Each structure stands twice: as C-alpha cells, then as structure tokens.
A and B are shown apart, each in its own frame.
Chain A
Amino acid sequence: MRRATAAGVGSPPRSKNVGPHAKVKSVDGDTGLVRGGLAAGALLACVTVLAATDGLDPAQILKPLSDSWPTYSGDYTGRRYSSLKQIDQSNVKHMTLAWSARLAAGAGPEGGGRGNAQGPPFGPAPTIVGGEGKGDVVVAGGITVKGAILAVDNVLYVTAPDHVWALDAHDGHELWHYFWRTKGGTHIGNRGAAMWGHYLFFVTPDDYFVSIDARTGKERWHKEAASFAQQYFLTSAPVTVGNHIIVGTGNDLDSPGYLTSYDPETGEQQWRFYTVPMNPGDPGLETWKSLDAARHGGGHPWLPGAYDPDTHLYIFGTGNPTPAYTAQVRGEGDNLFTCAIVAVNVDTGKMAWYYQTSPHDTHDWDSAQTPVLIDGDFRGSGPRRMVLTASRNGYYFTLDRLTGEHMVTSKFSDTVNWAKPDLNAKGQPVREPAKDHDIAGALVSSANGGATNWPPPAYSPDTGLFYVPLAESYAMYYLSETDPRGAMGLGGKEEIGVGSLGSYIIAIDPKTGSAAWRHKFRTATGGGGGASGLLTTAGKLLFGGDVSGNFVAFDPATGRPLWHTQIGRVTNAPETFLVDGQQHVLVAAGDTLYAFTLNQ
C-alpha cells in the first residue's frame, strides 16, 4: 500500500542554536518566571543532554511505533503495538525495575519536590510558573498521571493537570517542571502533551492551549482555547499532524464540542470543527429539537484521535449529548454528531464521514475513545482499511475508514441491557427508553463509567486481535428532575451503583466482533472497576494493569499472565521505547512512574 508523504506535513525549524546559552532568565515576565537562582547549573546539565538532538520531526510519527513514543498513542494508528521485541515471551520473566520516579507538584525545599539537588553548584531542577490564575485557587488531591508520556531522544515529558515535567529517561531524574497557576476548572486528568520540533503543547483545566520549549520548560505562548465562563475544561492530549496541532474540548454543562487545529509556531487557529450543528442549514440539524438544542448539545471530543496519512483524515470519537439524561429538550432525534466516530480532513477541518455508535444517548456514555486503524482482509472480500472502536455503551464496531461504512457490530459486555435485542439497519444499537432512568429507579448496565472508558485499547497484527479493558456493572438510575425543561449537563438524575459482576481484558476479533478470549481478573467480589490502558508488542506480549494493583504481561494469544509485579493501580497505559538501545517499559501508578527493563 502506498504510504504517501503526508502532504501538509511540515518540518519544524532545525535550530542548532541550542546550547548552554539557552536564555534561562529571559522568560516573559508576564507569563512565567524561572524559579530559584540555582537553576542554571541544572539547566546546563539538561541542555547538554538535549543539545545533540533536533527535537521531533512530525514525519517521525508516521513511522511504525518502535524506539520512541512521540505522540499520544505512540503512532497515528492508535494500535499501541510496538515493533520492539527485545523483551519477549521467553525472557519477560527477567524483566525488572530500572528506576522509579515520584512526581511532585512543587519543587525544591518548599514544595518538597524530588528534584535532583546534588549540592552546589547544582540546584534543584527549575520550576517555571505560568498561568492566568492569581495563585488563590488550590487544587486538592495529589498528582495522578492519566495520560501518555512522550519519550523522545532519551527525555520523557509527563503531564498532570496544571503540570508538565521533563525527566531523563535513563534514571527518571527531573530536568524541569512547568507549573500552570490555574483559575479553576475541572481537574479530572490530563492525557499528555504533543511535540513539534523543540516545542511542547498541552492544555489546561481553565481552557488554555499552552506551548513551552521542550529544552527548558520555558513558556512560548498560551492561547485561550475555550470559554472558562461557559465551564469548558480541557484534558485531551493535543496531536501533532504535520503543521497542525489538533486538540478537542470537554465540558459538563450544555455547550458545543469542537476540535481546533493550531499553527505550531504562532498558536493561531487554522480551523475549528464543531461536533454539533451551530448554524441554520448545518448537516445534522434535523436530528435536534431546535438550533438552540443543537448549539448546547455537547459531543465533546475529549480524547485524541487517530490519523490516516493516506487520506489525510483525522478520525476521532465524540462525547455524549447534553443535557445527558433529561433528553427531552434535545428532541427524539439522533442528536448528531454526538457519540459518533467522525473523520475530518486535517487540512480543511471539513467532515468526510461519520458513524454514530449511540444514537440519542441518554446515559452519558461517550464514544470519545481513541479509534484504532488497521488494514487487512475482511471475510475474504479483499484488503480493507478499517477503524475499530469499543464504545463506552458496551458495543464494538468495525467501520470502513474511507467511507464510515458499517462492517461489524457486536455487544462486548454480557450485562449491558440499555438497548433493544436487535440492531437497526445501520448496525446501531437501539435504545430501550424504559432503561433511560425512572423516578422509582431503572436497573441499568453499565454503571456510568461504562463497559469501557478512556483507558486505551490495543491491537496486535500478530494475533489479529483487539484488546479492550471491560467492566461489567449495574447501577440504578433515578430521575430526580421532573421539570419538563430538564436539567443541565449531567444533572437531573441520581445514579447509584449496585454492583460489579466482573472486570476483564477482552480480545475481540475485528472481523466478527466476537471474543477470542476474556481474562477475568480474580477479585473478592465482582469486579472493581476497569483495568488500565493496554500495550502490545512484537515480543508477543500484552501489558496492562489489573484491578488489584498488579502490572501484568499477558500472552496476547490466550490472555495467560506471564509476568507481574505489584505497584499499585496503574493509572495510564503502558508504553515502550528504547533508552540507549535497550527496551524499557514505562507505566504510571498515581504520582509515580515505573520503568522496567531486562535484567541482563
């Protein structure tokens, strides 16, 4: 198959002007400042490490995933399949800890940060402070890493809401820490940063799109990306595609979702794509009660998408419609393009196709999960280009990624009960209105977290199987808002869990939608939430965190555990890359990163 030079792929400037002269003290006074007079020494060390590199050329992301981890999913396919195989089934039992690193919100003596102080003249790693907040908003709760960690040229870039850290991949020591002083907003998680040349990009809970210099942590600029007054909050990892940095919104009030493409140099908007109709005549408007309903209809694309360089299509999922539960104000229609897989041309921001996985959702079950792109024969009909998604609503889909044509639907959770037994002609599940919610309570599977959620699935071309974390649960959904005008956002219901029947990793055959195997995690009672995100490798391994705090390597053909270690609940998806030519596997549990490698 033709692998086009991705048109529109631009290369960042190849600045060689990197060195000890990095202008440590010249951070813009109005947006940030370098903290501590002892920073220069540490920075010097940092710059020495980085000076040999040219940052990330976006063309690198087009390559199959192997030595680095340059974007949210590792590569554009979303498969999370690495071609690395130093660690394989025969030697994984010798995999052991290379290092661990605990991230600290503060730095230096006051913040109790880990830092890398070694005494004069080496100070703690510098903390660069930015943000529009006044410093009077305190975020309760510790650091939890719930996103991708970029690994480029032996440096790791890690994020949490309001924070970015650069760490040395050799031992996890901190190079710099960027702290964003927030105005507020929902601090639920951050899925990671994007990179372009020497620039990093990330978003904040108070709705800014921020760029910093990867070499120093110094802020380049920040842009308002959504309205804080309208209660947007941003969590997604931006995605670099050529000269585009693409990022989507989140919001739990009633508001329109959108993707924005930014220029990596200037931060100027290139295009914006709304996931709901915003103007008279917009496609999909007929599926809403009114234009006002559509314009407040949600559909937030809060996770990164996949990208097909041959078609220039950025393919992503959209979130739930709003109001989520008291749906009467949305009308009886499908509420396009919420809860859908959508393909947008990355050069124009125009939609090429869509497929809705939950028409008229009434349970806040987003379809925002990162889709997975695969190529191959489909039931003897010849090679097809496909996109796979396992939706929070408990249904799995294979689609044609050139057209959005439906190919396969299956129910991958046995307990899910919100839809009628038969799919419609388009292969979509059809909602059973009695299972929306009820004043006296409706027993619904799944509970709000869904059959699966943001923790990313994985696909192995070796086995041809699609691996998905699955949780089977029930909750009672009580209608608590009887005003016919409904509630806003997620309001209007009380959802109370009644039990979990099991947590699994399930291996789905994309050609049939049926499960090749299910590994049920052994727990005292029922489930215990969902497993972590997943990673699979050419070493014929599948990595993931179970629901009991074990980080496990499985046989991807059978689901049999081959290796494990107890590190506490894994909170992101495992990754793998080379450090000085040696394969490492990196995973986060809360505020601590663990890097594993072979004990040779």
Chain B
Amino acid sequence: MPYSAFFALCMLFVAVTLNAQPPTPQGGGGRGRGRGGGVVTSPRNAYPDRPTGDPAAIERGKALYSVNCAFCHGADTRGGDGGPSLLRSGVVLDDQNGELIAPIVQNGRPDRGMPKFAFSPDQIADIATFIHTFRAAGYDESRQKPPSILVGDPKAGEAYFNARCASCHSATGDLRGIATKIPDEKVLQQTWLMPGGGGGRGGPPPVLAPVPTVTVTLPSGETVEGKLQRIDDFNVSLITADGAYRSFRTEGDAPKVAIRDPLQGHRELLRVYSDKDIHNVTAFLVTLK
C-alpha cells in the first residue's frame, strides 16, 4: 500500500546494524533472538509465521477440507466455486485453533449461502490446522512464475530499432550478441529501456550506465570538462581527463554548466514508446544471439 518505493529507498539506506536493540530493562539478557522472534527488515518478514502444526492433524484436516470445503473455497483456500478466499479472511487470520472458525462452520452462513457442517470441535481444530498451513502474504515469490514476456513481432521491432535507435546503436556492432550476454528476456528489456538498471531482480546491472560528462564555463571564459561526479542546485563536481577532482560552487546560472547525458535519448523515448513498440523491440533484440 503506502510506500513501496519509499520503502525500497529506505531499506537501501538503513544501516543494517541492529541499532534498534531494545534497551534491556535493568540489565541482563534480552538481546538474543528467542524462539518466535526474528529480525524485521521488510514487510515480507514483518509478521511471524504460525508455528508448524501437528502433521497428523494437518493430514486429518486436509482430508476433511478436501471433501467438504475445497469445492467452494478452493483446494489452496484462495477461493473456489462461490466461496470466498479463506486465506485473507479476517476470521481465519485471527483464529488460533479453530475457535473462531467453529461457530461459522457449525452454524453456517445462510445469508451468504454457506451450509452448516456437523463437525466435532476436534475435527474443526484439524481443519483449522490445515488451513493455517497456507501463508497469507501479498509478496509471495513462489507465485511469481509468469509465462514468457515475448509477445512482440521481431520484424516490427527491427523496423522500429532502425528508425529510432540506429543513430546510436547497431545490431551488428555494439549490440551484437546482446541476447547471449543478457539471456533473461525481462532483464534484457529493462536494460535496453534504461541501461544501468538492475533488471529488478536484485542482481548487479548487466550493463553499466555510461557516465555523463560536464563542461563548466567559468566567468573568465576558461572551461573545465570532465566526468560528472555530482551536481545539485549549488555545486558541481567532476573528474578531468587527467584524473583531477574539481568542484565548483554555482549560483543560479553562473558559472555555466552543460551536461551531456549519453542516456538522454533513452530518457526522451520513454515519453514516446507504445507498449507494443517496446515488446516488438525486445522480440527483435532477443534474436541477436
């Protein structure tokens, strides 16, 4: 919900030190991780997993669930024919051992079309143990198994490439073998859209972004040129060709600062592409083995 991007940013910047150690009341222990504890680093591990249930109870519960519940609520509790997902149900999430589920199962929900079931408390506890083996989470990597992202037309992609990209790039020159160098199609797509990105998979970027260069024209007319190090509204710094670090205070438009960003074309095209263009270009680039 609120803050994914901010969160990502923050998690990059936070020190990994355990700065937030709880102050130990009146000295003594409390610093170790006991059972059931953990290290909260992100929303993915912010909530404790339920204790693993008794395997025999899970088996009994699964058998009961499969026969009686799965048709409506789905074999994986995510919902089925007419019944809602149990995985996100507040009742199920709040339930510990069947105590909240029991009245609903035993009485049914006639207003919502759910019949009642004459299970014993032990049977309901078994069903609850089984249901609780499914983890409720928005972030579930195990489900991130998309089909191929290749849907584009390579011929149309080649035509687009020739029209829009060929002034800087060549399929037989700098991009020769790019699909061998970057075999993951999604990473390839992300990389040609904006070189230097990591492809979103947490790994290092397959291609480093070229560094912008900058020319500073001093009031005397002297110009200083080099690789841009850092710039904001008040300072600019660069490394000159002979390796010297130079830094200049700026105020308004003085001294004059001109940046040449090799990726400017990539940035400007973001406003231009259709999604179809992107898919076509990717379909073309994957042929450059």
State the Cβ distance, A477 to closest chain B Cβ, in Å: 10
With beta carbons under 8 angstroms apart, the residue of B25, B46, B149, B271 that contacts A441 is: B149
A482 at the interface (CB under 8 A from B): yes
**Told that A35-B26, A188-B10, A495-B4 touch, could you supply 18 new A-B pairs with CB distance under 8 A?**
A107-B23, A108-B23, A140-B39, A324-B1, A439-B149, A440-B279, A441-B278, A443-B193, A454-B2, A476-B189, A480-B144, A489-B137, A490-B4, A491-B137, A492-B143, A494-B200, A499-B267, A522-B233
Q: How far is the CA of A107 from the CA of B232 in the complex (A)?
A: 37
Q: How far is the CA of A474 from the CA of B10 in the complex (A)?
A: 19
A497: B residues at CB distance < 8 A: 197, 200
B101 at the interface (CB under 8 A from A): no
Number of interface residues of A (CB under 8 A): 120
State the Cβ distance, A82 to closest chain B Cβ, in Å: 24
B110 at the interface (CB under 8 A from A): no
A295: B residues at CB distance < 8 A: 90
Q: How far is the CA of A110 from the CA of B23 in the complex (A)?
A: 7
Task: Report how many A-B pairs have Cβ atoms within 8 Å.
Answer: 315
A341 at the interface (CB under 8 A from B): no
A501 at the interface (CB under 8 A from B): yes
Q: How far is the CA of A366 from the CA of B3 in the complex (A)?
A: 9
Question: DSSP class of B's interface residues: helix, strand, loop or mixed?
Answer: loop
With beta carbons under 8 angstroms apart, the residue of A141, A250, A499 that contacts B20 is: A141
Q: Could you tell me if A482 and B147 are in contact, using CB atoms closer than 8 angstroms? A: yes
Q: How far is the CA of A483 from the CA of B145 in the complex (A)?
A: 11
Q: Could you tell me if A439 and B234 are in contact, using CB atoms closer than 8 angstroms? A: no
Stretch at the interface among B51-59, B62-70, B77-85, B172-180: B77-85
Q: Could you tell me if A524 and B20 are in contact, using CB atoms closer than 8 angstroms? A: no
With beta carbons under 8 angstroms apart, the residue of B84, B138, B261, B278 that contacts A292 is: B84
Stretch at the interface among B28-36, B123-131, B156-164, B240-248: B28-36
B222: A residues at CB distance < 8 A: none
With beta carbons under 8 angstroms apart, the residue of A136, A138, A496 that contacts B36 is: A136
A57 at the interface (CB under 8 A from B): no
Q: How far is the CA of A181 from the CA of B147 in the complex (A)?
A: 44
Number of interface residues of B (CB under 8 A): 96
B168: A residues at CB distance < 8 A: none
Q: Could you tell me if B212 and A319 are in contact, using CB atoms closer than 8 angstroms? A: no
Q: Could you tell me if B139 and A490 are in contact, using CB atoms closer than 8 angstroms? A: yes
A3 at the interface (CB under 8 A from B): no
Q: What 8 A-B pairs have minimum CB-CB distances, sorted nearest first?
A: A489-B138, A136-B37, A449-B5, A141-B14, A496-B200, A548-B232, A136-B34, A491-B138
Q: Could you tell me if B10 and A546 are in contact, using CB atoms closer than 8 angstroms? A: no
Q: How far is the CA of A142 from the CA of B150 in the complex (A)?
A: 42
Q: Could you tell me if B1 and A250 are in contact, using CB atoms closer than 8 angstroms? A: yes
Residue on A nearest B45 in the bound complex, by CB: A184
Q: Could you tell me if A415 and B20 are in contact, using CB atoms closer than 8 angstroms? A: no
Among A231, A364, A494, A552, find the residue whose CB has the most chain B CB atoms closer than 10 A.
Answer: A231
B118 at the interface (CB under 8 A from A): no
- In the complex with contacts A105-B19, A184-B40, A482-B3 CB distance below 8 A: no
Q: How far is the CA of A302 from the CA of B7 in the complex (A)?
A: 15
B183 at the interface (CB under 8 A from A): no
State the Cβ distance, A40 to closest chain B Cβ, in Å: 15
Q: Could you tell me if B30 and A135 are in contact, using CB atoms closer than 8 angstroms? A: yes
Q: Could you tell me if B19 and A141 are in contact, using CB atoms closer than 8 angstroms? A: yes
Q: Could you tell me if A498 and B270 are in contact, using CB atoms closer than 8 angstroms? A: yes
Q: Could you tell me if A498 and B48 are in contact, using CB atoms closer than 8 angstroms? A: no
Q: Could you tell me if A491 and B1 are in contact, using CB atoms closer than 8 angstroms? A: no
A138: B residues at CB distance < 8 A: 18, 20-22, 33, 37-40
Among A235, A324, A474, find the residue whose CB has the most chain B CB atoms closer than 10 A.
Answer: A474
B261: A residues at CB distance < 8 A: 524-525
B150: A residues at CB distance < 8 A: 440
Name 30 A/B residue pairs within 8 A (Cβ), A-sorted. A105-B19, A135-B30, A140-B20, A141-B41, A143-B19, A179-B22, A188-B6, A231-B93, A253-B136, A255-B90, A300-B1, A366-B2, A434-B275, A454-B3, A476-B193, A480-B143, A490-B4, A491-B143, A494-B144, A496-B197, A497-B197, A498-B193, A499-B194, A523-B232, A524-B212, A546-B233, A547-B232, A548-B232, A564-B233, A564-B234
- In the complex with contacts A105-B19, A136-B35, A185-B47, A364-B93 CB distance below 8 A: no
- In the complex with contacts A144-B14, A230-B90, A523-B231 CB distance below 8 A: yes
B186 at the interface (CB under 8 A from A): yes
* Beta-carbon contacts under 8 Å, A359-398 to B: 364, 366, 368
Q: Could you tell me if A188 and B7 are in contact, using CB atoms closer than 8 angstroms? A: yes
Q: Could you tell me if B186 and A561 are in contact, using CB atoms closer than 8 angstroms? A: no
- In the complex with contacts A141-B20, A228-B47, A296-B38 CB distance below 8 A: no
Among B18, B32, B150, B275, find the residue whose CB has the most chain A CB atoms closer than 10 A.
Answer: B275
State the Cβ distance, B190 to closest chain A Cβ, in Å: 5
B94 at the interface (CB under 8 A from A): yes
Q: Could you tell me if A453 and B3 are in contact, using CB atoms closer than 8 angstroms? A: yes
B221 at the interface (CB under 8 A from A): no
A322: B residues at CB distance < 8 A: 1
Q: Could you tell me if B140 and A441 are in contact, using CB atoms closer than 8 angstroms? A: no
B23: A residues at CB distance < 8 A: 35, 105-108, 110-111, 127, 129, 177, 179
Q: Could you tell me if A491 and B84 are in contact, using CB atoms closer than 8 angstroms? A: no
Residue on A nearest B44 in the bound complex, by CB: A186
B226 at the interface (CB under 8 A from A): no
State the Cβ distance, B99 to closest chain A Cβ, in Å: 13
A190 at the interface (CB under 8 A from B): no
Q: Could you tell me if B22 and A230 are in contact, using CB atoms closer than 8 angstroms? A: no
Residue on B nearest A180 in the bound complex, by CB: B22
A405 at the interface (CB under 8 A from B): no
B-contact bits for A523-538, CB 8 A (1 contact / 0 none): 1111001000000000
Q: How far is the CA of A489 from the CA of B30 in the complex (A)?
A: 34
- In the complex with contacts A142-B19, A476-B193, A546-B232, A501-B79 CB distance below 8 A: no
State the Cβ distance, B50 to closest chain A Cβ, in Å: 9
Q: Could you tell me if B146 and A491 are in contact, using CB atoms closer than 8 angstroms? A: no
Q: Could you tell me if A230 and B93 are in contact, using CB atoms closer than 8 angstroms? A: yes
Q: How far is the CA of A35 from the CA of B139 in the complex (A)?
A: 39
Q: How far is the CA of A184 from the CA of B14 in the complex (A)?
A: 18
State the Cβ distance, A114 to closest chain B Cβ, in Å: 13
Q: Could you tell me if B2 and A188 are in contact, using CB atoms closer than 8 angstroms? A: yes
A253: B residues at CB distance < 8 A: 88, 136-138
With beta carbons under 8 angstroms apart, the residue of A104, A298, A448 that contacts B5 is: A448
Q: Could you tell me if A449 and B4 are in contact, using CB atoms closer than 8 angstroms? A: yes
A485 at the interface (CB under 8 A from B): yes
Q: How far is the CA of A134 from the CA of B24 in the complex (A)?
A: 11
Q: Could you tell me if A550 and B232 are in contact, using CB atoms closer than 8 angstroms? A: yes
Q: Could you tell me if B47 and A525 are in contact, using CB atoms closer than 8 angstroms? A: no
A442 at the interface (CB under 8 A from B): yes
* Beta-carbon contacts under 8 Å, B244-289 to A: 252, 257, 259, 261, 263, 266-267, 270-271, 273, 275, 278-279, 282
A323: B residues at CB distance < 8 A: 138
B115 at the interface (CB under 8 A from A): no
A516 at the interface (CB under 8 A from B): no
A229 at the interface (CB under 8 A from B): yes
State the Cβ distance, B229 to closest chain A Cβ, in Å: 8
A185: B residues at CB distance < 8 A: 40, 46-47
Q: Could you tell me if B234 and A415 are in contact, using CB atoms closer than 8 angstroms? A: no
Q: How far is the CA of A357 from the CA of B147 in the complex (A)?
A: 34
A460 at the interface (CB under 8 A from B): no
B17 at the interface (CB under 8 A from A): yes
A-contact bits for B198-210, CB 8 A (1 contact / 0 none): 0110000000010
Residue on B nearest A525 in the bound complex, by CB: B261
A346 at the interface (CB under 8 A from B): no
A-contact bits for B113-127, CB 8 A (1 contact / 0 none): 000000000000000
State the Cβ distance, B258 to closest chain A Cβ, in Å: 12
Residue on A nearest B11 in the bound complex, by CB: A141
- In the complex with contacts A296-B88, A441-B186, A454-B2, A129-B25 CB distance below 8 A: yes
State the Cβ distance, B45 to closest chain A Cβ, in Å: 8
B87 at the interface (CB under 8 A from A): yes
